[in-house]
Structure 1
Amino acid sequence: MAIASSAGGVHGAGVLLSGLGPHLRVPVFLVQHLDPRHRTVIAEVLSRRTELPVKLAEHGERARPGTVHIAPPDRHLLVGPDGMLWLSDSALVHFVRPSADLLFESVAGAYGPRAIACVLTGTGCDGAMGVDAVKSRGGTVIAQDPETAEFSGMPQAAVGTGAVDFVLPLEEIAAVVRGLVEDKRQ
Structure 2
Amino acid sequence: MKVYMSGKYKAVVMGGSWGGMNAAVEILKYLPADYPLPIVLVLHRLKGVISELPALIRKKTYVQIKEADEKEKMQPGTVYIAPADYHLLIEQDQTFSLDVSEAILFSRPSIDVTFESAAEVFGKKLIGIVLSGASKDGSQGLYTICRAGGQAIVQDPRQAEVTTMPQAAIETVKRAKVLTLDEIAAYLLAV
> What amino acid is aligned across from residue 50 of structure 1 in structure 2?
T
Q: Which residue of 2 aligns with 1:56?
A: 67
Give the conservation status (yes or no) of the 8 Å contact 1:131–1:163.
Answer: no
Equivalence map 1:4-43=2 (5 Å): 4-43=15-54
Residue 136 of structure 1 pairs with residue 147 of structure 2 = yes
Equivalent residue number for residue 136 of structure 2: 125
Aligned to 1:98: 109
Q: How does 1:96-175 map to 2 (within 5 A)?
A: 96-175=107-186
Specify the SS of the correspondent of 1:94.
coil
Bigger drift between 15-24 and 128-137 goes to 15-24
The runs of at least 4 consecutive aligned structure 1 residues that moved more than 3 Å come to none
1:20 to partner: Cα distance = 2.0
Query: RMSD between aligned alpha carbons?
Result: 1.0
For residues 131 and 97 of structure 1, do their structure 2 counterparts lie closer, same or farther at Cα, with a shift above 3 Å needed?
same
Match of 1:69 in 2: 80
AA paired with 1:3? M
| Residues 158 and 164, structure 1, Cα contact 8 Å, conserved in 2 | no
The number of equivalent residue pairs is 180
Q: Name the CA distance, whole Å, in 1 between partners of 2:64 and 2:146.
A: 28
**Structure 1 unmatched ranges of 5 or more:** 182-186
Please state how far the C-alpha of 1:163 moved relative to its aligned partner.
4.2
State the distance in 1 between where 2:174 and 2:89 align.
Answer: 21
Does the 8 Å CA contact 1:140/1:164 hold for their aligned counterparts? no
Calculate the TM-score normalised by the size of structure 2. Answer: 0.91
Deviation at 1:64, TM superposition (A): 0.8
Q: Which secondary structure does the structure 2 equivalent of 1:54 belong to?
A: strand
| DSSP 3-state at the match of 1:55 | strand
Task: Quote the sequence identity (%).
Answer: 37
* Contact 2:133/2:163 (<8 A) preserved: yes
Instruction: Kindly provide the CA deviation profile for residues 142-176 of structure 1, in whole angstroms up to 9, marking residues without a partner as x.
Output: 10001110000111110001344310112221111
Amino acid at match of 1:78: L
* TM-score using structure 1 length: 0.94
Unaligned runs of 5+ in 2: 1-11
1:184 corresponding residue in structure 2: none
Q: Distance in 1 between matches of 2:131 and 2:175?
A: 12
How far residue 37 of structure 1 moved from its aligned partner, in angstroms, is 2.5
CA distance in 2 between partners of 1:80 and 1:120 (Å): 24
Q: Separation in 2 of the partners of 1:89 and 1:12?
A: 27
Structure 2 contact 139–173 (Cα < 8 Å) conserved: no
* Helix, strand or coil at the partner of 1:138: coil
